[in-house]
Amino acid sequence: MGNAAAQKVPFWLDPKKRGIVFQIGTVCMVGLLAYYLISNVLINLEKQSIATGWGFLTKESSFEVGESLISYSSADTYARALLVGALNTLKVSFIGIVITVILGTVVGIARLSTNWLVSRLAKGYIEVMQDIPVLLQLFFWYAVFYETFPSPRQALNPITGVFLCNRGVAFAVPAAHPAHAYMLAALVVGLVLAFFLRRWAKKRQDRTGQSFPVFRVSAGMVVGFPLLAWLAFGAPTAMDVPKLVGFNFTGGLTLSPEFFALLMGLVLYTGAFVAEVVRAGIQSVSRGQQEAAMSIGLRPSQVLNLVILPQALRVIIPPLTSQMLNLTKNSSLAVAIGFPDFVSVANTTINQTGQSIEGVALIMAVYLFFSLSTSAFMNWYNKRVKLVER
């Protein structure tokens, strides 16, 4: 009987079959829409005789890019110009994220301070920065930079070796010396040794219960090895001081106003959000945890490292990841103030080649790649942090 009833059910009342039909319908609709749009594009491209394809990537770009991490000239290809832009995006995002995390942590802790004045100030900062569009902040800092600072010939010189003018900030940096390569190598060796030391110390502690001053020893290695390398080369102290030659400063390290304004705007804006994330994370660890940890005799540093941080980080990391991604995506606003990031270079490319579809597709692909790889990394890290929870 049940069998007969099941057979009688018409297919549109069977959820499974209905689901299949519904899905096929959706696929058909999406497919049709895609077909319609793509055919329109093809017709339009054909009619307006707009060039298509990726051939332009290997052509000579013939335009200059303001700042570059790799060597580039207008005789290079579009592909290289775009690479320059992508590296600039990475540069500003990476530096921005590092400073933002530091700033956000400080402000987040300040927000929880028992000191009324400090916590109010932190609150005011968070409120104001969160509520002003980041693009407006970029324009503001850019305008402040070039409207306030003097021309290079009257550059401000607040500290020896640092020059402030409307062309940017020029720093003195140590002059190139073979010792630097060895110092870098020593740093890497120190870091690797510190990593293994930590693992060894943890194993030993698990086995014997004896703790080892890992932090102090590793810090000593990480700082000490490069220092030793530096001393071994006779402690070179020559500095490459920026000098005014012709129109601009040469030598040293110059940060352009565009870069500075972009960094400033992104960091101040995102920092406010990160501060809220950090505050929420710290507040999520109940006071009892801290009291319990202290009552079993852990030192304050151990309380922080072993009890508070592992729990707070679990709460902090997912929203922090999305803030990092926001910063990376917002760095695309560089195009508005003329920092040659990826969007800016791609924009020029679109303009010079007329191939807007390829250009916008590239922009999307590159940011998707950045976003997906950052979230993949952060997910991996999040999982590692999660293991602490037993």
Pick out residues in 313-342 that bind another protein (CB under 8 A): 329-330, 332-333, 335-338, 340
Alpha carbons 338 and 257: distance in angstroms, whole number: 10
Q: Using the rule CB under 8 A, which residue among 135, 193, 304, 306 binds another protein? A: 135
Smallest gap, in angstroms, from Cβ of residue 42 to another protein? 9
Q: What's the order of all strands across the beta sheet hosting 253-255?
A: 162-165, 168-171, 253-255
Which one of 193-201, 285-293, 301-309, 350-358 is the stretch in contact with another protein (CB under 8 A)?
Answer: 350-358
Torsion of CA 120, 121, 123, 128, to 10 degrees: 140
Pick out residues in 215-254 that bind another protein (CB under 8 A): 245-248, 250
Smallest gap, in angstroms, from Cβ of residue 157 to another protein? 17
Alpha carbons 193 and 187: distance in angstroms, whole number: 10
Residue 265 class from Cβ within 10 Å (0-12 exposed, 13-18 middle, 19+ buried)? buried
Pick out residues in 6-35 that bind another protein (CB under 8 A): 19, 22-23, 26-27, 30
Pick out residues in 272-311 that bind another protein (CB under 8 A): none
Instruction: Say whether residue 265 binds another protein (CB under 8 A).
Output: no
Task: Evaluate whether 172 touches 252 at the Cβ level (below 8 Å).
Answer: yes
Tokens 């001081």 belong to residue? 241
Cβ distance to another protein smaller for residue 140 or 212: 140
Pick out residues in 71-130 that bind another protein (CB under 8 A): 73-75, 113-118, 121, 127-128, 130
Instruction: Say whether residue 212 binds another protein (CB under 8 A).
Output: no
Instruction: Say whether residue 156 binds another protein (CB under 8 A).
Output: no
Tokens 């994370």 belong to residue? 281
Alpha carbons 309 and 293: distance in angstroms, whole number: 12
Pick out residues in 36-75 that bind another protein (CB under 8 A): 37, 40-41, 43-45, 47-51, 62-67, 73-75
Residue 297 class from Cβ within 10 Å (0-12 exposed, 13-18 middle, 19+ buried)? exposed
Cβ distance to another protein smaller for residue 139 or 212: 139
Smallest gap, in angstroms, from Cβ of residue 74 to another protein? 4
Smallest gap, in angstroms, from Cβ of residue 328 to another protein? 8
Going from the C-alpha of 312 to that of each of 185, 243, 324, the distances in angstroms are 35, 48, 18
